[in-house]
Structures are given as C-alpha cells and as structure tokens.
Amino acid sequence: MRICLFPGTFDPVTLGHTDIIYRAIPLFDKIIIGVGKNSIKSPMFSAEQRLQWFKEIFKDESNIESFVYDGLTINFCKKNNANFILRGIRYVSDFEYEKAIADANRTLDATIETVFLTCEPKYTSIASTIVRDIIRNGGDASHFLPEVVINSLKK
C-alpha cells in the first residue's frame, strides 16, 4: 500500500496546499496530512484549527486523514506506515531547501522516499507567510484560501 505523509505547518491552509493534495490523490492509496507543531514557529492559528480545516475540506475523501504531530517527520511516517513524504515546490529555492530535508530524512530511514510536486503556476505566489501578513493587516486574503478557511475567518 502506498501511504504518503504530507507534512507542514499549514498556517493557514492555502489553495497551494490543497492543490498539491488533490493532485496527489491518484498517486497514493492513502494520504495523511500531518499538521506539524513546530517549536521554532509561533503560529497564527492553533494546530486544532488547522486540523479542523483539513478535516472539513477533505471530508468526502475517504483516503485522506489528518493529524497533528510533533517531533521528527520520519518518526511520524513510521508510526503511520507511510513510505512516502509529499512536498510541494513553488520555486527553485524551495527545491534546494526541501532537498536538504529529504536527504536528511533518507539518512534517517532509506525506506521512506520524498516525492516533490510542483504547484500550479497560478498558486506559485501563495505562501502562508504572505497570507498571514495580509490577514494580520486586515487585507482580503480570500484569493489565496479555500472556502472553508475563508468562512471560518469571517466568524
């Protein structure tokens, strides 16, 4: 069984994230979205909120599960029998950073392979950092966010 982990902080969940997930569905038997608790970052939205967004967005996809995790991504893969890590790439600089992480993960466990998907050109400029800044400053971030996220922000 091809089980894939898509890890990230997803703060907030953007159309770029969901694009990668939707396009990965035919590639894997099961996709686990791992909402990471990163001790270095101070998230704008709670891990529980980010998890809830994914659960709502993918409620009709039986082969997608979402969890909050902390610690090493490779350990979370082992715990969930995931033999692939999925990462989205927007720019060459993303690839260089992601390749370094993939190389470290391969050193920790050579049985877990990292798969990169490039994002659709229309989502290239979407970065959670930029979206958070727009939200924080009262701008309209709806062009970058799934409907579920937009609706929860209006509340």
| pLDDT tens digits, 52-96 | 999 999 999 999 999 999 999 999 999 999 999 999 998 888 899
Strand-pair category, 30-36 with 113-118:
unpaired
Residues 2, 41, 79, 143: which is the catalytic one? 41
Is 132 a residue of the active site? no
Residues 23, 30, 90, 99: which is the catalytic one? 90
Is 90 a residue of the active site? yes
pLDDT the model gives residue 38: 73
pLDDT the model gives residue 155: 78
Boundaries of every domain in the chain: 3-154
Q: pLDDT by residue (tens digit) across 105-141?
A: 999 999 999 999 998 989 888 889 999 999 999 999 9
CA-CA-CA-CA torsion sign (117, 2, 11, 9): negative
How far apart, in whole angstroms, are the C-alpha atoms of residue 87 and residue 85? 7
- Select the CATH number that applies to the domain covering 3-154 from these four: 3.90.1200.10, 3.20.20.70, 3.30.2090.10, 3.40.50.620: 3.40.50.620
Is 17 a residue of the active site? yes
Q: Which residue type occupies 32?
A: I
User: Does residue 39 carry a pLDDT above 80?
Assistant: no
